[in-house]
Structure 1
Amino acid sequence: MEELNSGSDRNNQMELTQQSLIYGLPDDIALLCLARVPRNYHALLKCVSKRWRDLVCSEEWYSYRQRHNLDETWIYALCRDKSEQVCCYVLNPNSSRRCWKLLDGLPSRSFKRKGMGMEVLGKKVYLLGGCGWCEDATDEVYCYDASMNKWTEAASLSTARCYFACEVLDEKIYAIGGLGSNSSDPHSWDTYDPSINTWICHSDPNIVPEIEDSFVLDGKIYIRCGMSAVTSHVYAVVYEPSSGTWQHADADLVSAWRGPAVVIDGVLYVLDQNSGTRLMMWKKETREWVLFGRLSSLLTRPPCRLVAIGSSIFVVGKGLSTVMFDVGSAGNVEGVMLSSSIPKLVSDHDVISCKCLAI
Structure 2
Amino acid sequence: MELGESESQTEPTYTPLISGISDDIALFCLARVPRRYHTLLKCVSKRWRELVCSEEWCSYRQKHNLNETWIYALCRDNFERVCCYVLDPNSSQRCWKLLQRPPTQCLKRKGMAFEVLGRKLYLFGGCGWCEDATDEVYCYDSSKGSWEEASPLSTARCYFASESLNSKLYAIGGVGSNSSDPRSWDTYDPSTNIWTSHSDPNIVPDIEESIVIDGKIYIRCGASSTIPPHVYSVVYEPSSGTWQHADKDMMSGWCGPAIVVGGTLYVLDQSSGTRLMMWRKETRDWVVVGRLSLLLTRPPCRLAAIGTSIFVLGKGLSTVVFDAGKAVQNIGGVMVSSSIPKLAYVDDVLSCKTLSI
Fold shared per TM-score above 0.5: yes
Task: Report the alpha carbon displacement of residue 17 of structure 1 after superposing the two structures with TM.
Answer: 10
2:244 aligned to 244, 247, 265, which one? Answer: 247
The alpha carbon displacement at 1:335 in A equals 1.1
* Correspondence for 1:346: 344
8 Å contact 2:288–2:332 — kept in the other structure? no
Pick aligned residue for 1:128 from 105, 110, 124: 124
Decide whether the 8 Å contact of 1:178 with 1:211 is kept in 2: yes
Aligned length, in residue pairs: 344
Task: Give secondary structure in 2 for the equivalent of 1:212.
Answer: strand
- Please give the residue correspondences for 1:114-153 in structure 2 after superposition, counting only pairs within 5 Å: 114-153=110-149
Tell me the secondary structure at the aligned position of residue 300 of structure 2: coil
Task: Give the CA deviation at 1:325.
Answer: 0.7
Pairs within 5 Å for 1:258-269 = 258-269=255-266
Indicate the residue corresponding to 2:6 in structure 1: none
Q: 2:268 aligns with which of 263, 267, 271?
A: 271
**Equivalent residues in 2 for 1:162-201 (5 A)?**
162-201=158-197
- Please tell me the residue identity of whatever aligns with 2:246: A
- Alpha-carbon shift at residue 208 of structure 1 (Å): 1.3
Matched, 1:235 2:232: yes
1:111 paired with 2:107, answer yes
Residue 235 of structure 1 and its aligned partner are, at CA, apart by 2.3
CA distance in 2 between partners of 1:209 and 1:299 (Å)? 35
Contact 1:224 1:234 in 2 (8 A): no
Q: Distance in 2 between matches of 1:220 and 1:94?
A: 30
Partner of 1:48: 44
SS in 2 for 1:66: helix
Alignment RMSD: 1.9
Tell me the alpha carbon deviations over residues 177-217 of structure 1, each in whole angstroms, 9 at most, x when there is no partner: 01010011100000000000000000011111111100011
Identify if the C-alpha distance between structure 1 residues 122 and 333 changes in structure 2 by more than 3 Å, giving closer, same or farther: closer
Which of 279, 283, 300 is 1:282 aligned to? 279
Q: Is the 8 A contact 1:82 1:348 kept in 2?
A: yes
List runs of 5+ in structure 1 lacking aligned partners. Answer: 1-14
- In the alignment, is the contact (CA less than 8 A) between 1:167 and 1:173 conserved in 2? yes
Q: Return the letter of the residue paired with 2:208.
A: E
User: Does the residue aligned with 1:222 lie in a helix, a strand or coil?
Assistant: strand
Report the CA distance between 1:232 and its aligned residue.
7.9
Aligned to 1:220: 216
Aligned-pair CA distance for 1:83: 1.7
2:61 alignment counterpart = 65
Is the contact between residue 234 and residue 245 of structure 2 (CA under 8 Å) also seen in structure 1? Answer: yes
Q: Hey, what does 2:3 align to over in structure 1?
A: none
- Paired residue for 2:254? 257
| Counterpart position of 1:154 | 150
Deviation at 1:333, TM superposition (A): 10
TM-score scaled by length of structure 1: 0.93
Tell me how far 1:159 sits from its aligned partner.
Answer: 0.1
1:298 aligns with 2:295: yes
1:319 aligned residue: 316
Tell whether the 8 Å contact from 1:167 to 1:215 is kept in structure 2 after alignment: yes
8 Å Cα contact 1:312-1:325 kept in structure 2? yes
Counterpart CA distance in 1 for 2:74 and 2:330 is: 31
Using the aligned pairs only, state the percent identity.
74
Give the secondary-structure state (helix, strand or coil) at the position aligned to 1:45.
helix
AA of the residue aligned to 1:241: P
Distance change (3 Å), C-alpha of 1:235 and 1:285: same
**Could you tell me whether the CA contact under 8 Å between 2:161 and 2:174 is conserved in 1?**
yes
Inter-CA distance 185–16: structure 2 relative to 1 (3 Å threshold): closer
Using the TM superposition, give the Cα deviation of residue 329 of structure 1 relative to its aligned residue in structure 2, in angstroms.
2.1
Within 2, Cα distance between the matches of 1:210 and 1:261? Answer: 18
Instruction: Between 272-281 and 79-88, report the one with greater CA deviation.
Output: 79-88
1:356 aligns with 2:357: no
Q: Which residue of 2 aligns with 1:19?
A: 15
